[in-house]
Amino acid sequence: MNKVINDPVRGGRGIKVSDSRGEIKALTFQSIYMIESGALSTILPLLMREEGLSIGRIGIVYSIEPILFQLTRLFLGALSDFVGRKPFFVLNGIGSSISFVGYYIAKSPIGFAAGRIITALQGACIWAVNRAYLLEQKGGGMRSLFKMRALTAVFGSAAVFLQVFWFRRFYTGVLYWH
């Protein structure tokens, strides 16, 4: 929501000032997504290896997500121009919950592949709308988005590293060191 304020420096002409609530919401959703993404990229191959998947199968399962992500992101971005941006933020949250449950119960390559497919769709939902939403809300904000993505992805990876390192007694197999 834009407000118009009078600027005495500009001779009393109005200046549009963006309300930052929309930007904060978008950055919050993106932060949560990047923390999850950083954590999953660290722990998921170890989890698949612990379930007995070979390195080759892990590679095949992992390759599904980027291919599907790129194919669906463009379509969802165009669709969001007609439907609006907010439903895609909701779909991102739903996809996150479903993919975590899927990874939790997965015991086979097909189960992990289903989780990667849902993760790809979840990621495509937010990446299809996050830039456009920020540009609509503020007319900028891309620098904040890029900094926040990098920081939260590192935070998610570091959190998983600390979990595996300090709480390794809860894991067996690949994640357990004697």
17 within a domain of the structure (yes/no): no
Summarize the confidence of residues 134-140 as an average pLDDT.
63
- Between the CA of residue 61 and those of 33, 37, 76, 153, 160, what are the distances in Å? 20, 16, 23, 21, 21
Alpha helices for the chain (secondary structure H): 21-50, 55-83, 86-105, 109-138, 142-166
Residue 30 sits in which domain range?
A: 24-175
On whether residue 11 sits in a domain, the answer given is: no
In this structure, the number of other CB atoms found within 10 A of the CB of residue 5 comes to 8
Mean pLDDT computed over 24-35 = 74
- What pLDDT does residue 17 have? 42
Mean pLDDT of the chain: 73
pLDDT of residue 169 exceeding 60, the answer is no
What is the model's pLDDT at position 82?
A: 86
Is 10 within a domain? no
Name which of 71, 43, 45, 64 is nearest 127 in CA terms: 71
Residue 1 located in a structural domain: no
pTM above 0.75, yes or no: no
Query: Percent of the chain, pLDDT > 70?
Result: 62
Q: Is the pLDDT of residue 133 over 60?
A: yes
Residue 31 lies in a domain: yes
Report yes or no on 146 lying in a domain: yes
Residue 162 lies in a domain: yes
- Residues 7-20: what's their mean pLDDT? 47
pLDDT of 45-102, one tens digit each?
Answer: 888 888 888 889 998 988 888 899 889 988 898 888 888 888 888 888 888 888 888 8
Number of domains observed in the structure of the chain:
1
**44: amino acid identity, one letter:** L
